[in-house]
Amino acid sequence: MKIICSSVDALPASLPSGARAFTFLKSSSRPEVGRIAHGWFRELEKAGYSPSTSVWDFVLFCFSVYAADVAVLRKGSADGWTRQIELEVTLNDPTPWEANRHIVENMLRVLTGDFWTIRFFEGGPIPPNGQRRLCDRDCVALLSGGLDSLVGGIDAVAQGRRPIFVSQLAFEDSARQVTYAKALGGADWHQQWSHRIVFKGEKETSTRARSMAFYGLAVLATSMLPTKKPEILVAENGFISLNPPLLPGRMASLSTRTTHPLFMCLLQELLEGIGIEASLLMPYRFKTKGEMLRECANQTVLETYACDTTSCGRFRTYNRTHCGRCVPCMVRKAAIHHWGHADTTNYKFSSLSSAGKTSADDPMAVACAVLSAEQRGVDSFLGATLSFAPQTDRQHYRHVIDQGLSELAVLLRADSVI
């Protein structure tokens, strides 16, 4: 399917059959055309943003990818999952993007599991030209409302860092984000934005590219920093980043790759290729969630907010309540148990053994993974999962998987699953 993301002025007079179009920042008068970040331009200028062309084009690209991801349904593909997506994006300077198109397409292939064909054209909306405020911040930190990003923010502040906290507006999580930023002394420089992607019709719910919008916002925030080589802190535990296939049927993008090291490496390569000097840092890539909690630099703040954070992959399904049985919930439960504190999170299913036969897919998959590692060894379980990594990193990633499965094993046995 072809997706066209364009400024209003560069929008084609007629769309190819079966294509869908989106316009940046402004709405088209054509009802079949969706919109991205409508009305955002003035807000950015008011906030003082004046990003470079390369940074602004990266934001437009990231939003375009997410728009394509939600607009193209997986059920319409031959195998019910893998899509063929043609994406056309109008930018201010497409030249460096064309030179790095192979990186872009490979990166998105890793992230979403689809086949992407990307084309870049001139005619993108110009960057905002706000009156930049003096900034005393020294890095950017993603603050989602989740437990890992909370630990990352706590540790960064404890180390003397002064982050601009960047969040995506997300229902109840938006209030959590404000609370955490304030608790960490970053309320004045907390940036909360939305991609505002709106269109008519059915939406794809797998959203494997959702992180692209987040990275776009983070790179945009670096334009407010005084340093020439800004750092972006991505706080995610190594077990979830690797997201090893628990069963053979969960290979590749069937398990989310939002912060997978291979994807992050390609994203960093792309930033460098298009002239953006920002560095993506993953300080917990060799840590489990349980280790992150135990080693957090400010236990008092962590104890206050840890069980208020969100982790659930089905949070909206259960009316803003953790289900307690998806993989992120199980990793969360196991980590809090490893931390040694009472878990006061409100779970729909407090015990994995009470989930019922019709909803036991994730607990069964985790149980199979744990037993496989225990009976045949973690290397047999991993297979070629770590083949992407340099030899020097593999032992560290192996530890993350081994320790992560050990934390989960304790949870499964406590709930009499194994």
105 and 234 share a domain?
A: no
Handedness of CA 197, 199, 203, 208 (dihedral sign): negative
In a domain, 225, yes or no: yes
In a domain, 302, yes or no: no
**The pTM is what?**
0.95
Last residue of a domain, one of 260, 281, 302: 281
HSE-CB of 213 using CA atoms within 13 angstroms: 24
Q: What is the model's pLDDT at position 397?
A: 97
Q: What is the model's pLDDT at position 316?
A: 79
Are the beta carbons of 130 and 49 closer than 8 angstroms? yes
Are the beta carbons of 53 and 92 closer than 8 angstroms? yes
Which tens digits make up the pLDDT trace of 345-402?
999 999 998 755 545 689 999 999 999 999 999 999 999 999 999 999 999 999 999 9
Last residue of a domain, one of 122, 150, 167: 122
Within 8 A by CB and 6+ apart from 257, the residues are 110, 111, 208, 243, 263
Total domains, the chain: 3
Q: Is 79 helix (H, G, I), strand (E, B) or coil?
A: coil
In a domain, 63, yes or no: yes
**Could you give the CA distance from residue 302 to residue 80 in angstroms, rounded to a whole number?**
42
In a domain, 318, yes or no: yes
Output the DSSP codes for 336-369: HHHHTS-----BSSSSGGGS-GGG-HHHHHHHHH
219 and 107 share a domain?
A: no
153 and 272 share a domain?
A: yes
Residue 17's domain comprises: 2-122
226 and 257 share a domain?
A: yes
Last residue of a domain, one of 93, 122, 151: 122
114 and 168 share a domain?
A: no
**Could you give the CA distance from residue 118 to residue 86 in angstroms, rounded to a whole number?**
6
9 and 111 share a domain?
A: yes
Q: What is the model's pLDDT at position 131?
A: 92
In a domain, 134, yes or no: no
272 and 146 share a domain?
A: yes
Within 8 A by CB and 6+ apart from 358, the residues are none
114 and 150 share a domain?
A: no
**Could you give the CA distance from residue 367 to residue 414 in angstroms, rounded to a whole number?**
12
275 and 347 share a domain?
A: no
Which of 112, 51, 75 shows the shortest CA–CA distance to 274? Answer: 51
In a domain, 323, yes or no: yes
In a domain, 34, yes or no: yes
Which tens digits make up the pLDDT trace of 215-244?
999 999 999 999 989 999 999 999 999 999
Query: How do the pLDDT tens digits run along the chain, 418 residues long?
Result: 999 999 999 999 999 999 999 999 999 999 999 999 999 999 999 999 999 999 999 999 999 999 999 999 999 999 999 999 999 999 999 999 999 999 999 999 999 999 999 999 999 999 999 998 789 999 999 999 999 999 999 999 999 999 999 999 987 789 999 999 999 999 999 999 999 999 999 999 999 999 999 999 999 999 999 998 999 999 999 999 999 989 876 555 556 899 999 999 999 999 999 999 999 999 999 999 999 999 999 999 999 999 999 999 888 778 889 999 999 999 999 999 999 999 999 999 999 987 555 456 899 999 999 999 999 999 999 999 999 999 999 999 999 999 999 999 999 999 999 9
Distances (CA, A) of 74 to 22, 203, 226, 269: 19, 10, 43, 28
State what percent of residues in the chain have pLDDT above 90: 90
Instruction: Sort strands 231-233 and 190-193 into parallel, antiparallel or unpaired.
Output: unpaired
Are the beta carbons of 329 and 342 closer than 8 angstroms? no
Are the beta carbons of 91 and 60 closer than 8 angstroms? yes
332 and 375 share a domain?
A: yes
In a domain, 399, yes or no: yes
157 and 262 share a domain?
A: yes
**Could you give the CA distance from residue 89 to residue 97 in angstroms, rounded to a whole number?**
10
**Could you give the CA distance from residue 36 to residue 197 in angstroms, rounded to a whole number?**
5
156 and 238 share a domain?
A: yes
